[in-house]
Amino acid sequence: MSQASPSTTAAENDAPLSGGMLWLAAIILAAANFIAVLNMTIANVAVPNIAGSLGATVSQGTWVITSYAVGEAITVPLTGWLSARYGAVRVFVWAMVFFGIFSLVSGLANSLGLLVVARIFQGFSGGPLMPLSQTLLMRIFPKEKAAAALGLWSMTTLVAPVLGPILGGYFCDEYSWSWIFYINLPIAFLGGFFAWQLLKRYSEPLIRNPIDRVGLVLLVIWVAALQLILDEGKNLDWFASGKIVALAIIAAIAFAAFIIWELYEEHPVVDLKVFRHRGFTASVLTISLAFAAFFGVSVLTPLWLQNFMGYTATQAGLATAGTGLAAFFVAPLVAQLTTRIDARKLVFGGVIWLGIDTLWRTVATTDMTFWNIAVPLVFLGFGLPFFFIPTTGLALASVEEREMDSAAGLMNFLRTLSGAFATSIVTTTWANQITRNHAELVGLADSDRSVRTMLENSGAPGDAVNQVIDYIITGQSVMLATNQLMWAIGIAFFIAASVIWIAPKPSRVVDPSAGGH
**Average pLDDT value for residue range 355-368:** 89
**Average pLDDT value for residue range 132-147:** 77
pLDDT in tens, 46-62: 777 787 888 777 666 66
CA distances in angstroms from 165 to 100, 130, 299, 302, listed in the order given: 20, 19, 9, 8
Does 256 score more than 90 pLDDT? yes
Which position has the higher pLDDT, 178 or 66? 178
- H helix or E strand, kind and range, residue 509: none
pTM, two decimal places: 0.77
Residue 373 and residue 305 in contact, taking contact as beta carbons nearer than 8 Å: yes
Does 512 score more than 50 pLDDT? no
Residue 112 and residue 303 in contact, taking contact as beta carbons nearer than 8 Å: no
Does 337 score more than 60 pLDDT? yes
pLDDT in tens, 338-357: 778 888 889 999 999 999 99
pLDDT at 103: 93
* Gap between the terminal Cα atoms of the chain: 44
Report the percent of the chain where pLDDT is more than 70: 86
Q: What is the 3-state secondary structure (H, E, C) of 420-464?
A: HHHHHHHHHHHHHHHHHHHHHHHHHCCCCCHHHHHHHHCCCCHHH
CATH of domain 271-517: 1.20.1250.20
Does 260 score more than 50 pLDDT? yes
pLDDT at 456: 56
**Average pLDDT value for residue range 189-216:** 80
State which of 3-7, 88-92, 417-421 shows the largest mean pLDDT. Answer: 88-92
Does 167 score more than 80 pLDDT? yes
- Given this structure, which CATH class describes domain 13-209? mainly alpha
Domains 13-209 and 271-517 equal at CATH topology level: yes
Each domain of the chain, given as residue ranges in start order, spans 13-209, 212-268, 271-517
pLDDT in tens, 430-459: 888 888 887 887 766 655 565 556 655 666
**Amino acid found at 507:** S
Label residues 36-45 b or e (16+ Cβ within 10 Å = b). bbbbbbbbbb
**Average pLDDT value for residue range 124-144:** 82
pLDDT at 511: 39
Give residue 409's pLDDT band: very low, low, confident or very high (50, 70, 90): confident
Give residue 8's pLDDT band: very low, low, confident or very high (50, 70, 90): very low
Q: From CA 281, how far away is CA 405, in angstroms rounded?
A: 15
Mean pLDDT of the chain, nearest integer: 80
